[in-house]
Amino acid sequence: MMKNIPSVDLSDFLSDDPSRKEKFIQKIGNAYEEIGFVALKGHFLSDELTKKLYQEVKAFFELPVEVKAKYEIEGLAGQRGYTSFGKESAKGKKEGDLKEFWHFGQEIQDGEVLAEKYPDNIIVNEVPNFNSTGMEAYRQLEKTAIYVLRALALYIGVEENFFDKFVTNGNSILRPIHYPPIVDKPKGAVRAAEHGDINLITLLMGASASGLEVKNKQEQWIPVTALPEQLVINVGDMLQRLTNNKLRSTIHRVVNPPKEDWGKSRYSIPFFTHPKSEMNLSCLPECIDQNHPKLYDDITAGAYLNERLKELGLLK
C-alpha cells in the first residue's frame, strides 16, 4: 500500500533518451491513475526564485490589515488581488477556511486576442518586488505545467502538444496563501477543508510547514511530504473529467498543526493551471470504451469554472 506519493524527475522527460522519456510518462501516468499526486524535481523554478518569492509573500501578508484591505477589489470574485481571512469555504462546507490569500493571474503574451478578457493584475505599492517576483514564478510554473501536460497527453493517447494551445495564455492562477497562527481552538474549521481542485493540474511549492494530506483509494488520509526542491503536482477536476476518470482528482486537505505549532504561520503557494475558457472538457474518445462508458456531460472550461466558483461562494 502506498505510504507516500511517487517521485518523478522532469529531466527524464526532457532528455533525448526515448527510454527515459517513456519511463517518466508511464510513472507519472500510473501515479495519477492510482493516487492523483506526484512530487516532481527537475522543474523550471529555481531555489533562488522560490526563496525570493517566499520573502515577498511574507512581506505582503505582514502588512497592516487596513493596507491589505485596499487590495480586495469588489466585483472581481477574488480573481485578482487580495482575499481576506475566512472568505472562502470548501464545497459543501459552511465554515470559512483559516487562510487569507492573493491571486496573480495571466498577462497575455504574443498579442493573442482571447474571447474572454482577463482582469488586470493588482499592483502592490508597499512591497516593490512583490508583483515582478510573483509573475516571474508564474512563468516558470506555467512552463513546468506545459511539460507535465505533454507527458500526460502521450499517456492518455492524444498528440503530445494537445494541451499547449489551451494552457498558453490560459486562465491560470498563482495563489500565495497565508495560514495565520491559530489563537483559539477552531470550531469545525481547518486551514483548508477537504476538497478537489477545479483546474487541470495544480503545482505546489514545498510548503513552509506540513499539514497537506491526500485521501487514497482505501479512504485513508496520507500526509504528503516533499523535499524543498520538489513541486507537489496533482490532478484537478477538469483533467479528471476530460479523461473520463482515468486520471484521478484526489480529495485533499490542510489539517491544523499539533497544538505546539499553533503559534506559527504557514505559507503555501499553489499554481492552478487553468485552460482558456473555450476549451472543450468533453470526455476524450481515447478514454471511453465498453468498460469505461462516458461519465460526464459536455461542458466548456469557462462554464465549468463559473459553476464551481458559485459553489465556493466566490461568485454570486
For residue 316, being part of any structural domain is answered with no
Relative to beta strand 231-235, strand 201-205 is antiparallel
Looking at the domain assignment, is residue 2 inside a domain?
no
- Output the nine-digit C-alpha cell for 180: 495565520
Decide if 291 is inside a domain: yes
| Within-domain flag for 199 | yes
Q: What pairing do the DSSP bridges indicate for beta strands 192-195 and 252-254?
A: antiparallel
Q: In the 3-class helix/strand/coil scheme, how is 124-136 assigned residue by residue?
A: CCCCCCHHHHHHH
Is 1 part of any domain? no
**Residue pLDDT, tens place only, 221-253:** 888 888 888 999 999 999 999 999 999 999 998
> pTM score, two decimals?
0.92
The verdict on residue 49 lying in a domain is yes
Query: Which pLDDT belongs to residue 1?
Result: 44
Range of the domain at 216: 7-311
> What average pLDDT does the segment 81-108 reach?
78
Confidence grade of residue 182 (pLDDT, cut at 50, 70, 90): confident
Question: What's the mean pLDDT in 196-206?
Answer: 91
pLDDT of the residue at 104? 98
Per-residue model confidence as pLDDT tens digits over 9-32? 999 999 999 999 999 999 999 999
Instruction: Say yes or no to pLDDT of 119 above 90.
Output: yes
Does residue 115 lie in a domain region? yes
Here the CATH number for the domain that contains residue 31 is 2.60.120.330
Residue 192 domain-assigned (yes or no): yes
With 70 as the cut, is the pLDDT of residue 188 above it?
no
> Using the 8-state DSSP alphabet, how is residue 214 labeled?
E
Pairing of strands 7-9, 37-41: parallel
Pair 172, 271: CB distance under 8 Å: yes
130 closest CA partner among 56, 52, 70, 55: 56
Q: Which residue has the higher pLDDT, 114 or 303?
A: 303
Q: What is the model's pLDDT at position 53?
A: 96
The number of folded domains in the chain is 1
Q: Is residue 117 very low, low, confident or very high in pLDDT (cuts 50, 70, 90)?
A: confident
Flag whether pLDDT at 129 surpasses 90: yes
The residue among 258 and 165 whose pLDDT is bigger is: 165
CA distances from 184 to 98, 180, 193, 194 (A): 12, 12, 18, 21
Radius of gyration (Cα) for the chain, nearest Å?
19
